[in-house]
Amino acid sequence: MAKVKRNIALFDNNIAEVVMKHTLNIDKTGLERGTRGNFDFPVLAVQHGVEIMQYEGEQFACHFHPEAELTLIASGKMYYRANDMEYLLCEGDAVFVNANVMHAGRSCDGASCVYHPINFWPLFLSGHEDSRIDRKYVAPLLGEALPSVVMRADCPEDAPLLEVVNEVCALARVHPDGWELLLKAALCRLWYYFYLRRPADAEERPIGAEAVKRAISFMETHYAEKLSLDDLAREAHLSRSEFCRTFRRYTGRTAFDYLQHQRVLRSLVLLREPRCPVLEVALSVGFSGASYYAEIFRRYMGTSPLEWRKKFL
């Protein structure tokens, strides 16, 4: 059991990457961890694209991070959720998700989809906090003020934005001389388009998103414990009924479904230990027994825990 406890402690800080497929690197608060640029150059672009089918369950979990994110669909299509909005993105479409906005993605009918994610710190555009550009153009649009912007390949009005998004992706892949300057200029142009399209109530911050973040943070920290809807609603500072409605609105699933899915994902690292009994794995991540754990595991993974372990080993 000591070895299991050690693995759980490690896993609490870092959701495991598995060999055949992978999960997001999410910490206890629902914040995605990992390097997405640095102070030297606060931009990260995946040069060769990401395949949605490579994620466990053909989806990446609801999460958030302090960087803004651009996603360009290179091929196929996928369902993409940002806060309480879900979009079907097709080849050539793109979506912008603001800093600290919850987002998730899943395959469309189990089909392939390759996309290019680009993460950048908004402060990269303004230079430093409280500069004129930051005060006037960047800070007012951050976070829930402008949660997401969808750009459609078949929409003429979105053509200028998509041209810039494609330019950003090309610069990130090819790295011509001076590409860093060109990339920053392109991101500034894109932000300018977002500024022009800003909603009239951009200053308002909906409380629903923050409530759901608190609940997700609580679940990520206490997933191994017996949790009730009352516990989660209390943590979100909402009534039980309002919490259920709000959580589904922002994540597209019930809170209990989200919790069970996270428990299954967290169990994967323990299943990699061949001498760790399935019952021990189940109890370590919050399930009441091995049979119930196996039932829920099959629901999300399409196979049994032992079959999954055999494939991995």
Q: Angle 76-78-82 (CA atoms, 0-180°, nearest 5)?
A: 145
Q: What are phi and psi of 18, to 5 degrees?
A: -110, 165
pLDDT at position 92 is 97
Tell me the CA distances in angstroms from 62 to 20, 26, 79, 203, 248, one per residue in order: 21, 10, 12, 24, 12
pTM above 0.95, yes or no: no
pLDDT at position 197 is 87
Fold agreement (38-196, 207-312): no
For the residues 192-212, what does the mean pLDDT come to? 78
Amino acid at 44: L
In terms of pLDDT, which residue wins out, 124 or 199? 124
- Is the pLDDT score of 201 beyond 70? no
Strands (E) across 147-246 are located at 148-151
Q: Tens digit of pLDDT for each residue in 58-79?
A: 888 888 889 999 999 999 999 9
In terms of pLDDT, which residue wins out, 12 or 122? 122
pLDDT at position 106 is 93
pLDDT at position 295 is 96
Q: What is the residue extent of each domain of the chain?
A: 38-196, 207-312
- How many percent of the chain have pLDDT more than 90? 62
Spatial CA neighbour of 82 closest among 70, 93, 97: 97
What class has domain 38-196?
A: mainly beta
For the chain, report the end-to-end CA distance as a whole number of angstroms. Answer: 20
What class has domain 207-312?
A: mainly alpha
Q: If pLDDT is split at 50, 70 and 90, which confidence band does 130 have?
A: confident
Quote the distance between the C-alpha of residue 41 and its chain's center. 22
